[in-house]
Each structure stands twice: as structure tokens, then as C-alpha cells.
Amino acid sequence: MRRLVAASAQLFACCVAGLLFQVACGSQSALAADQHGLNDRIAELEATTAPTGSRPLQLNIYGQVNRAVLLWNDGFDSGTYGVDNHTSSTRFGFVGQAAIRPGWSAGYRLEVETPFPSSDEVFNGPGGNQGGLGDTVRIRQSYWDITSKDLGRVSVGYQSPATDDITLINLGSQINDAAVHFNSAFRVRLDLLNPPIVTALTWGQIAHNVDSFRDNFIRYDTPLMGGFLLSTAWNDNVWDAALRYRNAGGGFRFAGGAGYMRDDALHFEDVRGSASLIHDATGLYASVAGGWRNAAQSVPVNADDSRFYYVQLGVSLRLLAAGNTTLYADHGVYKNFNVGEILSINPDQVAVPWGTLVDTEVRRWGFGIEQAVDSANLLLYAQTHFYDPTIVGFPCTFDPDPKVCGGDPSQTTKLPAAPWQGVVVGARIQF
């Protein structure tokens, strides 16, 4: 393991040195002092006033390409995958907007995602470098909206709920957050036999940031009022609400948000949020996130509710004329996700139930560097990730029914689960 960490550190240092050398040699004068990422650019497009005259409808095209190399080690095997970075995936979209009357507008957004393969779908198994868990081209958003300057916006269609990305607010790093983007589909392996046992349990199941998923929603967003924005969304099965806040003053910038979701189809409710503070003069920043989830269990066990916290500390300064350089370290803990569920082994052949999970914990840490090149809307990045699991369960007895796992909850066992480590080097360019 020490050799892997040393090799990862050497590769990380070489990649960072190469990236910074190319940026320093080829950089031009910066065109902007602050880049807030694709979401801010889209928000600006949506707020654009449609022109008058013979062309009442304004259409804008936007997008980005974000590709990376992932070097991974699951404790027993290692590999190198070319991936689309799920943190901020490759996509393109169209935003149309037309004025109805002064202060009122109608619009439409169609956004297509093209992750092949996505970094959250590749895994450590046969064909794992191809992902295979999702489509290579898929609709990311498709909805219409009506916006009033004074009353807010109503949108209808396939889109984000109010709490989407509420745990990902970060004024420092543009390409790393509390979510599990690179080992989400990797199977946890157990050092019980030779070769080691492969389980059907994935890292994304036990290291969860309780983020929301897009679906068909009716959503309402208030106008921005004193830096606050209140949102709510609902459909037949889901209802959520979120409050976001952004402000600047005294040389600091702050952004934060919190939300609540109830999902009657998946039988859970959760509360989550995040916040980020940056000092403009020094570039020092801190970003934190956390969440709590109460979910139904397939096998009721005596365990606390699922929860997590995440902290990222760093500095983001304009060290080069090309754009901001961001350095950071992060740490997170994810507790009791997927408890009360059956753990199966040998998923690539005939899956066999082992037992029931009663306690899970994942501790993660890592560090990274990002270099912006404002003249090209380009972001170069390199990062490392280390995940260490604790998994406890009780084995099946299949008594009295051979078709039911059963087992004695008092006879728990700590499983020898292997850690996961990864190095990521990539680039994102926006248009």
C-alpha cells in the first residue's frame, strides 16, 4: 500500500508539474476575474432579456467536454480507465427565451448528456472499463418555464428538484465535492479467500451524499430576495424544498443552502445542506456539507439513521496570468448507508447471499490542484482519493426457510473489506 501511495504521489506531482508548465508557457491575459462554472453561465443565459423586433425568441447554445484518466486500486487489482468526469459531465444544451410583456418571459431548456463511459459507472469487473450501467447519450433536462421578475419562476418537465446539488456548494474547487464520482460503481472486495471475494456491494451504496436525482417535476423558484432563493418541487412520489443564500462583503464571499426531501416511492426522507466561505484577498476558503436520511430497511436492524459530513479546505488565487490556481485537501465520513440490506457475493456469476448489513462506515480523504485558463474557458485538474471502509453484518442461516437469509443479529462479524485508492487527471473546456 505504501508503494501505491508513493507511486500515486509521484504520478500526481508529475502530472501537476506538466500541467502548470504548459499553462505558464502558453497562457494569455485573463478575460475574467472569476469563473463560477457552468451553472452560473446557464443562469445568466436564462436571465437574458429576449430581443424585440422581428426575432422575439432568443436561442443560446452552451456545453462542455470533461474527460479524465482514472488510475485505481481496489486493494487487490489495479487499472487505468479513460472516463467522462461525472463531477461535471460532458453535455450540451439549448436555452430559448422570449419576452411576453415587460417583466415576464417564457423559455425552454433541452440539455443532453454524453458520458461514455461515465466515471460513476465504471467498475472493477469484466467489462468494467466500459461502464455498462447507463446510456451513452441521455436527456439531462427538458422543460419549459414562465418567469416573472417580481413573482418568480414556474418550470414543468424533466429537471432537477429543489434540493439537487444542495450538498455540493463550493466557492473553491470547481471539480471536487462531497459526492462519490469515481468509485461509485466499484464493488467492495473482501480478503477472505484466494482470490479475494467480490461482493455486489458498491462504494456508492455505502458512501452516499444523499443528492437528488432529476425527474419530471413541477418546480417553483422565488425571485432572489436579499440574497435568498426559495425553491420547491413535486411529482406523484416526491416533494422537496430548499433555501439557498449568497452574499459578499467585507472581503468575503459566502454561499450556502439547506433542503428537505420526502420520497414515497423509495421510502425515505432526508435533510441536507452545504456552505462555503472564501476570503478574496488571501484566497483561503472552507466548504462543508452534511446530511441525514431516514430510509426503510429490507431487514429491520437496530442501527442509527444514515448520515454524512464532508469538509474541504483550500486556497484559490491568481498565481498565473492564465487564471486561478486552486489547491485543496478534503475529508469525509459516511455512516450507516445500506444497513438492513442483504450482502451478496460473486455478482459476476451466480450471486450468493452472505448476510445482512448492520453497520457501515466509509472514511475518505484526498487532495488536488486545479488551474483555470480563462481565455479558453479551460480547467486543468489533478486529484487523489483514498477510501477506507468498515462493514459489519451477521451471516445468513436460511433457517427455518431455505429461501430466506435469516440469521442471528447478535452474531455480528466485521468483514475484512479492502480500501480503494484513485488518481484522476483531466481537463474540462466549456463553450
Q: State the pLDDT at residue 393.
A: 95
Q: Largest Cα–Cα distance of the chain, in whole Å? A: 78
Q: State the pLDDT at residue 314.
A: 98
Q: State the pLDDT at residue 308.
A: 97
pLDDT per residue rounded down to tens, the chain (431 residues): 434 434 444 544 444 444 334 433 443 333 333 444 445 544 554 444 444 444 578 999 999 999 999 999 999 999 999 999 999 999 999 999 999 999 999 999 999 999 889 999 999 988 787 776 556 789 999 999 999 999 999 999 999 999 999 999 999 999 999 999 999 999 999 998 888 899 999 999 999 878 889 999 999 999 999 999 999 999 999 999 999 999 999 999 999 999 999 999 999 999 999 999 999 999 999 999 999 999 988 888 888 899 999 999 999 999 999 999 999 999 999 999 999 999 999 888 888 999 999 999 999 999 999 999 999 999 999 999 999 999 999 999 987 777 789 899 999 999 999 999 999 999 999 99
Q: State the pLDDT at residue 297.
A: 86
Q: State the pLDDT at residue 9.
A: 45
> Cα separation of 107 and 410, whole Å?
58
Q: For 88, list phi and psi in degrees, rounded to 5.
A: -155, 80
Q: Which residues contact 251 (CB under 8 A, 6 or more apart)?
A: 279, 280, 281
Asked whether the CA dihedral 24, 86, 128, 293 is positive or negative, the reply is positive
> Cα separation of 365 and 375, whole Å?
32
The residues with which 206 forms a beta bridge, in sequence order, are none
Q: Are 59 and 32 in contact (CB under 8 A)?
A: no
Relative to beta strand 215-221, strand 284-295 is: unpaired
Closest Cα partner for 384 from 3, 75, 4? 4
3-state secondary structure 270-316: EEEEEEEEEECCCCEEEEEEEEEEEECCCCCCCCCCEEEEEEEEEEE
Q: State the pLDDT at residue 135.
A: 63
C-alpha torsion 197→202→206→210, nearest 10: 180
Q: State the pLDDT at residue 39.
A: 53
H-helix or E-strand containing 329?
strand 323-335
> Cα separation of 342 and 46, whole Å?
46
H-helix or E-strand containing 187?
strand 187-190
DSSP string over 118-138: BTTT--SSTTGGG--SS-SSE
Q: State the pLDDT at residue 211.
A: 83
Prior bond of 195 cis (ω within 30°): yes
pTM, full prediction: 0.84
Asked whether the CA dihedral 347, 349, 350, 355 is positive or negative, the reply is negative
Q: Are 422 and 182 in contact (CB under 8 A)?
A: yes
Q: State the pLDDT at residue 8.
A: 45
